[in-house]
Amino acid sequence: MPDSATFDRSLLRAIQEASPDGILVVDGQGRVASFNRRFLEIWRISGEQMASSSARKGGAERDSGILPEAAEKVADSEGFIRRIRELYANPQLSDHCEIELKDQRTLERHSVGLRDDSGEYLGRVWFFRDITARKSDEAALRHLAMHDSLTGVMNRNQFFERAGEELRRAQRYRKPLAMLMLDLDHFKRINDVHGHGAGDAVLTTTCQLWMSELRSVDLLARIGGEEFALLMPDSPLSAAQVAAERLRALTSAAVVTFQDREIRFTVSGGIAMVDPDDSTIEAALHRADLALYRAKKAGRNRMEIAPDPPGGEDAAPD
């Protein structure tokens, strides 16, 4: 039968090697007491590197030899080393954070001080876990919550949240803010003649074309079946008109091929400037919708400017 000390060491080693975390244990003198295979895998340090470094030092590897090598892989290497030194200088501190690596991975780090039964400091244990996949999944879920699943542009809820922020910013700094309502002409006919798959292809292609022309600060959202809202920060009416006409021309020139059939389509739109007295973004959206209605009545495939004050027309036709 193995003695108690041998059993404890074997148990500790088995637990370390079975852990999904990379584990590094450093004693009170800054020497590496133990580490597991997962630690080497996460930091992409070979066992030969650890053994070679230890041999050069004539004994146990010191943590100071591992730190620079690990820091080279961290995006914020200075902050990484600064925090580790702070933790070593303050044994009572614990740590839980996320670390961004230069290779685009994300690690989760936990660290606690080790003490014996009398409270004497024995060293520190570090736990590292690769959470890159989890972070990617979380980002994908956030994207789905904020974007239209078909076209990839913002969904209605996200648009109104972001648009409200832009409204407050425009009012605070007295910046122009333009609102466009865009609606694909005779979209129901596309679905009826070519099928809903063709309609989806038209919507997706349209959004891709528009996004390629818009600025990074512009907010495009699908707020209905074939209806889109576009908010353009820091844009006077003249700039909004130019952008709207560019989108209209781009759309009318587009061709979507679906099941060997070519589909052409157009867009109508209404343009409204956000008024400094608007309490909500919906007021400007309503004015833009009225202008869209006029564009539809005037023959479609055109852009109209919202009246000031707005008229009392009904909702826009298809």
Which CATH fold would you assign to the domain 147-305? Answer: Alpha-Beta Plaits (3.30.70)
What are the structure tokens assigned to 189, written together? 């006919």
In the chain, ranges of CATH 3.30.450.20 domains:
4-136
Whether the per-residue pLDDT at 65 is higher than 90: the answer is: no
CB burial of residue 162 (10 Å; 0-12, 13-18, 19+): middle
Is pLDDT larger for residue 29 or for residue 222? 222
Q: What percent of the chain has pLDDT over 90?
A: 79
Which residues of the chain form CATH 3.30.70.270?
147-305
Residues tagged active-site? 226
How far is it, in rounded angstroms, from Cα 203 to Cα 96? 45
pLDDT tens-digit profile of 115-136? Answer: 999 999 999 999 999 999 999 9
pLDDT in tens, 191-241: 999 999 999 999 999 999 999 999 999 999 999 999 999 999 999 999 999
Residue 68 pLDDT grade (very low, low, confident, very high; cuts 50, 70, 90): confident
* Average pLDDT over every residue of 58-80: 77
Looking at domain 4-136, which of 3.30.70.100, 3.30.450.20, 3.30.70.120, 1.10.3720.10 is its CATH number?
A: 3.30.450.20
